Structure 1
Amino acid sequence: AGGIKLREDIHNAHGYQFLVQFALILSSSLKVNLVDSKSASMNSNNSGGSHASGMIEQTFSASPLQSQILPSLSWLLDLMVNLAQTGPVEITSVGDIAPKSSNSKIPGHQRQFSLEKIKDRRERGSNQVKDLEAVQMLQDIFLKAEDVYLQAEVLDRMLKIFSSHVDNYKICQQLRVIPLFVLNMAEFPALLQEKILKILEYAVTVVNYVPEQELLSLCCLLQQPIETELKHSILSFFVKLLSFDQQYKNVLREVGLLELLLDDIKQHKYLCGVEHQNANFSVEQSVPFSRSLTIRKDDSDAILSSPRIGGPASGKFRVFEDEGTITVAWDCLIALLKKSEANQSTFRMSSGVTLILPFLTSDTQRSGVLRLLSCLIMEDVQQ
């Protein structure tokens, strides 16, 4: 009861907004201290020449201090997790749980069993999210923070919330927190990208939740000029999903992955007969399917709310052109088609076989084409 009263007091006094600002101030103060420490070290060793200065800067950049956050900031994040899980617990009466009997008096052993069952339900429900506004505050900290390690800590706390109760991920879907993070993954460093995909993997494998919104966001990312490493991570994640559960063959087709891969092949420079392609593709070329994303964006400081087409030259290579993603792109396409009559039918109706045949003359593509053709031929014979 005391925890609920404290939460209500914080809420009524607009304390959540204060906690967000306080967390950002604590993070900024640590950053300032690190910069001051760096400046002091460089000044004290200035007489050592440019080589010594470079060594100091290199040492500082690898310093473990950068991977730490203040203990008070860590406690503050833990407080937000506790506030998110604080609220009234639904109490079930003994009569609702105990076996019905014509005798109104409950035997002692049945009463003991019922009380234990109530206690068990209370314990399991105690970690359920009861205050979405506290989760929203964690999202605000993540979006506004300039410290990647603070953002990583926030993601760790969110995974802690999701893993503490099987329903928490579904409950938090009302906020569209993870879809927003996924859509903006290109803006984040690899450390955060890995953690976001880990949360998605948890939702799929443990919660048994089908994150269609998040998968659609990942498909949108593949059409943007993102780094090779992120493309590879996304495609590898799709391959993992396809091997985990057969239903994702249909789910990923519905969110447009099969159509996206086919469009990627159609736009390949090998088929277009040119050596180089302009990175600024038209929207019709870059987006093979039209689906809208409903992302919660109440704060003007949120990073992005929709996918961006076009960008730097680093994104001009598509997944079947980029040497770092060619193999995993074929793996993903084959996994989509394997043991899926619906996907194979879509592939054939889109002239997929005709599209991939010219790639047999390409040293980098031949292996993938042969594996795909082998899959189609073997399963066609079996059918």
Structure 2
Amino acid sequence: MTQKEQEEKLYMMLPVFNRVFGNAPPSTMTEKFSDLLQFTTQVSRLMVTEIRRRASNKSTEAASRAIVQFLEVNQSEEASRGWMLLTTINLLASSGQKTVDCMTTMSVPSTLVKCLYLFFDLPHVPEVVGGAQNELPLAERRALLQKVFVQILVKLCSFVSPAEELAQKDDLQLLFSAITSWCPPYNLPWRKSAGEVLMTISRHGLSVNVVKYIHEKECLSTCVQNMQQSDDLSPLEIVEMFAGLSCFLKDSSDVSQTLLDDFRIWQGYNFLCDLLLRLEQAKEAESKDALKDLVNLITSLTTYGVNELKPAGVTTGVPFLLPGFAVPQPAGKGHSVRNIQAFSVLQNAFLRAKTNYLAQIILDAITNIYVADNANYFILESQHTLSQFAEKIPKLPEVQTKYFEMLEFVVFSLNYIPCKELISVSILLKSSTSFQCSIIAMKTLLKFTRHDCIFKDVFREVGLLEVMVNLLHKYAALLKDPTQALNDQGDSRNSSFEDQKQLALLVMETLTILLQGSNTNAGIFREFGGARCVHNIVKYPQCRQHALMIIQQLVLSPSGEDDMGTLLGLMHSAPPTELQLKTDILRGRKAEASNKK
């Protein structure tokens, strides 16, 4: 027979094949149809030939239109030869590896991918009103074609051979270009299809040859450049594109560091940080969800990598360790941080964030990273994350509680003393630009002093004892001359007297514990003028009880006689009307006497 006669005979067979096997399990094709592979070869050759005929010597738009018109379903089987051919290919793609390998040999995967790339140039065809009654509307026909077309490619790419054929024919890079290119809104389903196909290749087709091809063709560079340089793409679209790309970074990292290294070399991490900050300023309603999705993707990216990272040098030169502390070992892939560059994206974006929302979801993400594996905090210790964040925390009211909860996690769950972070907290308290932030900080510090007596020495060495004495001086100045003290505080003048009182009482409660049984702390407290200050504020009822608690600890320390003398002097010099003051001092002396016993 001539080629034309062969094709006609084959077209006559297609409806029969579809009726026989259309609703049967895929396994029946191999069991009942002994000539399946030969039939697959003929059908595959016919499909490739028909598409090439319609693409030959035409512009991309004309070729895409001709191919789509051939493949779309029409009102009758006779008029839908392309659709019948496509349906047959879809059935054959379900029947196992031998059939798929056969179709691959006939270049079906690469031909369909070329079509997919062409479909980005399909013109918009408005719906024609008044068509035949039994004719499907154009939009439905196009959607049906798109659904079956992507089904076929996904089935094929669930095996390795199609991915290798795409690499061999140099068509795999078309998919990378497709998922990160702009296309008109009416052709967006085709871009989504390209993404589905790539994700399937990522899961099933990443052989050594395919990874090598992606690396040598600089496919990741193409993606990053397309996403970075296109003015037509919205940030929401770019997040969707990166979701597809991240699958390759994840799946390839099981066996090779190559694609992760490529992403770093082509400035992928800088791009992600810029994208987070762009999304933060986006006005679209969906931008908040997109921002959350992107942060989640980057959080996952921190765990990708072939090589396990170990906590290094954690205990070297550390002045204080809690009893029983041991450096935790990484829990394993999927939990432990293996990609510090990805973590740096979150850290840098937090430091550059302008909104509470972005700062909050990044802090949540970092908390999740720390909680996922106890070793992660120590793997990332060289990044000084929480120390760097401390400076920004006072400006972000909604994340302050979360930040100090993270510090508590390090102490209470990891059993570790974060000295660098505590130094940063002492600087934060010294600047005291936000009383609410200082109150939250002091509540956490008070918990630490109650947790273990080692914090008496820690707080002294990191400068917190000195800072607390300074806060006490500020409160004493406020009690003495409220108007002048508020003027001196500048930016803090909006804070209420109640806030300042709450902070001062927390400071005094913490100081009481720090002085208890610590002669060194008592000496330094006196050196910084704390003793004189606390004696001066005993006369104020709102803080008298707390002040007397501190004085009680001073009396019990060396040179405590001076404090006892000062207290007795205050009682004798107080006017007769100050009965409550005298009573409170006497109660305090009684408590001191019982403590000495």
TM-score normalised by length of structure 1: 0.66
Q: Distance in 1 between matches of 2:378 and 2:367?
A: 13
Preserved CA contact (<8 Å) 1:85 1:127: yes
Q: Which runs of 5+ in 1 are unaligned?
A: 35-64, 92-120, 282-309
Shift of 1:276: 3.7
User: Does the 8 A contact of 2:336 with 2:373 survive in 1?
Assistant: yes
Task: Name the residue aligned to 2:470.
Answer: 263
Alignment partner for residue 164 of structure 1, among 364, 368, 372?
Answer: 372
Tell me what 1:230 maps to: 437
Instruction: Name the structure 2 match of 1:33.
Output: 284
Matched, 1:218 2:469: no
Structure 1 residue 9: deviation in Å? 2.7
Q: 2:340 aligns with which of 107, 121, 132?
A: 132
Match of 2:293 among 64, 70, 75: 75
Show the counterpart of 2:243.
none
CA contact (8 A) 2:478 2:485 kept: no
Q: What residue is the counterpart of 2:252 in the other structure?
A: 2
Question: Aligned equivalents of 1:270 and 1:19: distance in 2?
Answer: 49
The correspondence of residues 1-383 of structure 1 with structure 2, limited to 5 A, is 2-3=252-253, 4-29=257-282, 32-34=283-285, 69-70=288-289, 72-89=290-307, 123-124=331-332, 126-189=334-397, 191-266=398-473, 269-270=476-477, 274-277=481-484, 311-314=490-493, 322-350=500-528, 352-377=530-555
**Following TM superposition, by how much is the alpha carbon of 1:374 offset from its aligned partner in structure 2, in angstroms?**
3.0
Structure showing greater radius of gyration is 2
User: CA offsets, 1:321-363, max 9 Å, x none?
Assistant: 9223222121121121123333123334555434322222111
Structure 2 distance, partners of 1:27, 1:349, is: 49
Q: Per-residue displacement from partner, 1:24-58 (whole Å, max 9, x unpaired)?
A: 333333xx135xxxxxxxxxxxxxxxxxxxxxxxx
Report if aligned partners of 1:85, 1:131 keep a CA contact under 8 Å in 2.
Answer: yes
- Bigger RCO of structures 1 and 2 (CA < 8 A, at least 6 apart): 1
TM-aligned CA deviation for residue 153 of structure 1: 1.0
Maintained 8 Å contact 2:302/2:342: yes
Letter of the 1:205 partner, please give it. F
Alpha-carbon deviations, 1:196-247, whole Å to 9, x = none? 1111111111122222222112111222242321121111111011111221
Whichever residue aligns with residue 460 of structure 2, its letter is: R
Q: What RMSD in Å do the two structures reach over aligned CA positions? A: 3.2
Query: Secondary structure, in 3 states, of the residue corresponding to 1:33?
Result: coil
Unaligned runs of 5+ in 2: 1-250, 310-328, 559-594
User: What is the CA–CA distance in structure 2 between the aligned matches of 1:349 and 1:145, rounded to whole Å?
Assistant: 41
Q: Is the 8 A contact 1:151 1:192 kept in 2?
A: yes
Amino acid at match of 1:85: T
- Give the Cα–Cα distance (whole angstroms) in 1 for the partners of residues 431 and 338 of structure 2: 37
- Which amino acid is the alignment partner of residue 74 of structure 1? K
Change in CA separation of 1:27 and 1:354 when aligned onto 2, cut-off 3 Å: closer
Change in CA separation of 1:343 and 1:25 when aligned onto 2, cut-off 3 Å: same
Amino acid at match of 1:166: N
Q: CA deviation at 1:77?
A: 1.7
Residue by residue over 1:63-104, the C-alpha shift from the partner in whole angstroms, topping out at 9 and shown as x without a partner, is xx9xx821x43332222122212222459xxxxxxxxxxxxx
Distance 1:277 1:369 in 2: 23
Alpha-carbon distance change, 83 to 313 in structure 1, aligned in 2, over 3 angstroms: closer
Q: Is the 8 A contact 2:308 2:338 kept in 1?
A: no
SS at match of 1:323: helix
Q: Which amino acid aligns with 1:69?
A: K
Q: Is the 8 A contact 1:232 1:328 kept in 2?
A: yes
- Assess if the C-alpha contact under 8 Å between 2:522 and 2:557 holds in 1: no
Kindly state the Cα deviation for residue 318 of structure 1 after the two structures are TM-superposed: 10
State the AA in 2 paired with 1:220. Answer: I
Aligned-partner Cα distance in 1 for 2:440–2:399: 12
CA contact (8 A) 1:278 1:316 kept: no
- What secondary structure does 1:361 align onto? coil
For residues 21 and 275 of structure 1, what CA distance do their matches in structure 2 show? Answer: 46
How far apart are the structure 1 equivalents of 2:357 and 2:410? 23
Q: CA deviation at 1:250?
A: 0.8
**CA apart distance, 1:127:** 2.4
**Alignment check: 8 A CA contact 1:225 1:316 kept:** no
Q: Distance in 2 between matches of 1:168 and 1:122?
A: 7
Quote the residue 1:99 is aligned against. none
